[in-house]
C-alpha cells in the first residue's frame, strides 16, 4: 500500500494542470462557504477584523485598534484594507446580512441581542433596521478567499521544499485542506480568516527554512505572527534547526523587524489598545470561570489562567525545541523532523488552552496533513485525528461531564505533540554534527 501511495502522489503532472486545479480550489472554498450558509457576522470576532480594515482604509489607526474587540494583531486588516480601498463601492462593507435561524442556545433570553446583530437580508423584513445590508459576497467577507490563497500557497511551498511536490501530492494536499472542517469552520462559525493566513505564512516560513533562506523565512514568520499570535510557537523550532548563530539571528531579527514595522504605527496611535490586542491576555471583570480544559478547570482567577495559557505553550515549545536540537542537531534541518517539530509546537497551544472552538483545530489539522504528505505516507493519522476531534469530541461535549471533556481534549492535544516530535527526538546525530 505504501509503495502504491508513493507512486500515486509522485506522479508528475504538467504545471498548467496543477495551477488550474489549485485555482479551482478557490472556487471550491467559496462554494463550501456558500453551502454552510456564508460567514457568520453575528459575533464580535467578525467585527474585530472588518471594522479595523475599514478604519485603516480611511487612515485612522487609532480607531482600528479601538475596534479590535478580539485580541488580534493587525495583520489581516492590513492585508484586506487595500482591497477595501480599491473595491469599496462593491465590497467595502464591514457588515453583511444573514438570515440564519437563531441558534438553539440563544432562543431564550439571548434571542433579542442576537437579532440586533444578525440583520435580515431585506429592508422589508419586520426586523430590518435602516437600509438592507449587503449579502456576505458583496461585503468584506468575500476577501476570505485571500486567506485561503495564503494557506494553500504556503502549504504547497512547504511540500515542494520537502521534495514531495510537483505532482499529484499537491492536488491531494489541496483537496485535503479544502475538506478539513476547521478551514471553513474558521470562516463560517467565528470568522477567523486571520488563522488561515497565519498557518499559510508559517508553512511558507518552514519552506524557506528548508531552503536555508534565513531572512525571508524570518520575514514570513513575522507575517504569520501578524496574522495570529500562535505563530510564535514555531519560532523555537526554526531557531533550533538553523545551523549556527548567524542564521538564527537572521531569522529572529527579520521576524522582529516585520512585527515592529507592522505594530509601531498602531502603537504610536493607541498604545493601550495595541498592547491589549497583541498580548491576548487581558480580561476585565471576570473572576473564577470553569471551562472544559485542564487549565480551564483550575480554581484560580481568569486573568491568571489566561496568562498561563499564553505563556506555558511558549515555554514548552522552547524546551521541546532544545531537546530536539540536542537529539537531532544537524538532522533537524530535514523535512520530517522540522515539520514534525513545528506540528508538536503548535499542538502545545491546545494542551494549555482554556476552552475550545472548532477552528482551534485548524493549525494542528493542517500540519498533520502536511506532515504525513512530507513523509510520503497516506494521511491516515491526520484523518483519524481530524474526524475524532471535529465530529467525535465536539459532539460529545454537551452530554459528558466537564472533567471527562477536559481529559479527552488533553489526549487529543497530546497525541500530535507525540507524533510530531518523534522524528526529531528519536534521531541519533552523527559525530560530525555534534558540535556546530
Tens digit of pLDDT for each residue in 248-279?
999 999 999 999 999 999 999 999 999 988 88
Mean of all residue pLDDT scores within the chain: 89
- Residue showing cell 435602516: 130
pLDDT at 436: 39
CA 381, CA 358: separation in Å to the nearest integer?
18
pLDDT at 109: 60
Residue in 297, 346, 303, 344 with CA at minimum distance from that of residue 323: 344
CA quadruple 283, 362, 341, 201: dihedral, nearest 10? -90
pLDDT at 111: 65
Q: Contact at 8 Å (CB) between 201 and 151?
A: no
Mean per-residue pLDDT, 355-366: 92
Give strand pairing partners of 40.
Answer: none
Helix (H, G, I), strand (E, B) or coil at 324: helix
Residue in 411, 238, 213, 218 with CA at minimum distance from that of residue 320: 238
**What backbone phi and psi angles, to 5 degrees, belong to 105?**
-65, -15
| Whether the predicted pLDDT of 336 surpasses 80 | yes
Domain ranges of the chain: 143-429
Residue in 97, 98, 96, 117 with CA at minimum distance from that of residue 50: 96
Q: What is the DSSP letter of 389?
A: I
| Whether the predicted pLDDT of 3 surpasses 90 | no
| Whether the predicted pLDDT of 435 surpasses 50 | no
Alpha carbon of 289 to those of 297, 302, 406, 425: distances in Å? 8, 6, 14, 37
Q: Contact at 8 Å (CB) between 199 and 151?
A: yes
20: Cα within 13 Å, side-chain hemisphere: 5
- pLDDT digit string, tens, across residues 186-202: 999 889 999 999 999 99
CA 249, CA 236: separation in Å to the nearest integer?
12
Cell numbers at residue 192, please? 477567523
CA 171, CA 19: separation in Å to the nearest integer?
10
Among the residues of 36-74, which ranges form H helices?
44-57, 61-66
Distance of alpha carbon 380 from its chain centroid, rounded? 22
| Whether the predicted pLDDT of 285 surpasses 80 | no
> 235 falls in which pLDDT band (50, 70, 90)?
very high
- pLDDT digit string, tens, across residues 102-130: 655 555 665 666 666 667 776 555 555 56
End-to-end CA distance of the chain: 40
Distance of alpha carbon 341 from its chain centroid, rounded? 17
| Whether the predicted pLDDT of 400 surpasses 70 | yes
Amino acid at each position: 500500500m505504501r509503495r502504491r501511495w508513493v507512486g500515486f502522489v509522485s506522479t508528475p503532472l504538467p504545471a498548467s494542470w496543477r495551477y488550474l486545479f489549485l485555482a479551482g480550489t478557490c472556487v471550491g472554498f467559496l462554494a463550501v462557504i456558500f453551502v454552510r450558509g456564508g460567514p457568520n457576522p453575528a459575533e464580535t470576532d467578525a467585527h474585530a477584523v472588518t471594522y479595523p480594515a475599514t478604519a485603516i482604509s480611511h487612515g485612522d489607526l487609532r480607531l482600528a485598534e479601538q475596534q479590535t474587540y478580539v485580541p488580534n494583531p493587525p495583520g489581516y486588516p492590513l492585508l484586506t484594507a487595500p482591497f477595501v480601498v480599491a473595491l469599496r463601492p462593491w465590497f467595502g462593507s464591514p457588515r453583511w446580512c444573514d438570515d440564519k435561524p437563531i441558534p438553539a442556545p440563544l432562543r431564550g433570553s439571548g434571542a433579542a441581542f442576537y437579532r440586533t446583530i444578525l440583520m435580515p437580508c431585506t429592508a422589508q423584513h419586520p426586523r430590518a433596521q435602516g437600509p438592507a445590508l449587503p449579502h456576505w459576497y458583496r461585503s468584506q467577507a468575500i476577501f476570505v478567499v485571500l486567506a485561503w490563497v495564503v494557506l494553500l500557497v504556503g502549504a504547497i511551498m512547504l511540500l515542494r521544499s520537502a521534495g514531495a511536490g510537483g505532482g499529484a501530492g499537491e492536488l491531494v494536499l489541496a483537496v485535503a485542506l479544502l475538506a478539513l472542517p476547521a478551514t471553513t469552520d474558521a470562516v463560517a462559525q467565528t470568522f477567523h480568516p486571520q488563522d488561515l493566513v497565519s498557518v499559510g505564512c508559517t508553512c511558507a516560513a518552514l519552506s524557506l527554512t528548508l531552503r536555508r533562506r534565513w531572512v525571508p523565512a524570518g520575514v514570513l514568520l513575522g507575517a504569520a505572527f501578524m496574522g495570529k499570535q500562535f505563530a510564535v510557537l514555531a519560532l523555537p523550532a526554526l531557531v533550533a534547526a538553523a545551523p549556527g548563530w548567524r542564521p538564527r539571528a537572521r531569522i529572529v531579527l527579520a521576524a522582529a523587524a516585520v512585527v515592529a514595522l507592522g505594530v509601531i504605527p498602531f502603537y504610536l496611535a493607541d498604545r493601550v489598545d495595541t498592547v491589549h490586542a497583541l498580548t491576548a491576555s487581558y480580561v476585565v471583570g471576570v473572576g473564577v470561570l470553569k471551562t472544559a480544559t485542564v487549565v480551564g478547570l483550575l480554581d484560580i482567577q481568569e486573568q491568571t489562567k489566561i496568562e498561563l495559557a499564553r505563556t506555558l505553550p511558549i515555554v514548552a515549545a522552547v524546551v521541546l525545541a532544545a531537546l530536539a536540537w540536542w537529539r537531532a542537531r544537524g538532522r533537524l534541518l530535514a523535512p520530517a523532523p522540522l515539520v514534525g517539530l513545528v506540528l508538536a509546537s503548535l499542538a502545545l497551544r491546545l494542551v494549555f488552552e482554556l476552552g475550545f472552538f472548532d477552528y482551534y483545530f485548524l493549525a494542528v489539522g493542517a500540519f498533520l496533513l502536511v506532515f504525513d504528505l512530507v513523509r510520503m505516507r497516506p494521511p491516515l493519522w491526520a484523518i483519524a485525528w481530524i474526524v475524532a476531534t471535529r465530529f467525535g469530541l465536539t459532539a460529545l461535549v454537551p452530554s459528558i461531564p466537564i472533567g471527562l471533556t477536559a481529559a479527552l481534549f488533553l489526549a487529543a492535544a497530546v497525541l500530535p505533540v507525540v507524533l510530531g516530535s518523534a522524528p526529531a527526538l528519536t534521531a541519533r546525530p552523527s559525530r560530525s554534527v555534534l558540535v556546530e
